[in-house]
Each structure stands twice: as structure tokens, then as C-alpha cells.
């Protein structure tokens, strides 16, 4: 699932510990909480508008 490096990348671990988590679709969040597809908030430096 391309998530093997998360054990090394502590920023994802820290996001998982927060109240809102990553706010991704696969998470079991209460109704009305924002959710998005995985990694849609990632942008390369030349993709910002």
C-alpha cells in the first residue's frame, strides 16, 4: 500500500495521534468531520496555484 516507510516518517505518526488524524476517507471519523482522499493535500513545489 506504499505505506511501508511511515514507521520512519514520524510526521505521519504524529498526525495519527491527533484528534482529527489525517482526515482521510479510510478513517472512522464522526459524521460531519472533514475527510479527503489519501495524500490529496500533498503538492510538489511547482503544483501550487
- pLDDT tens digits for range 3-49: 666 666 667 677 777 777 777 777 777 788 777 776 676 767 677 66
- Kindly report whether the global pTM for this prediction surpasses the value 0.85: no
Number of domains, the chain: 1
pLDDT of residue 1 exceeding 60: no
DSSP 6: G
Long-range contacts formed by 38-47: CB under 8 A, 24+ apart = none
Structural domain range at position 6: 1-49
pLDDT at 14: 75
pLDDT at 37: 75
27: left (phi over 0), alpha (psi -120 to 50) or beta: beta
Amino acid at each position: 500500500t506504499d505505506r511501508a516507510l511511515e514507521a520512519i516518517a514520524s510526521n505521519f505518526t504524529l498526525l495519527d495521534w491527533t484528534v482529527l488524524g489525517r482526515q482521510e476517507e479510510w478513517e472512522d471519523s464522526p459524521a460531519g468531520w472533514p475527510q479527503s482522499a489519501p495524500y490529496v493535500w500533498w503538492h510538489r513545489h511547482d503544483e501550487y496555484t
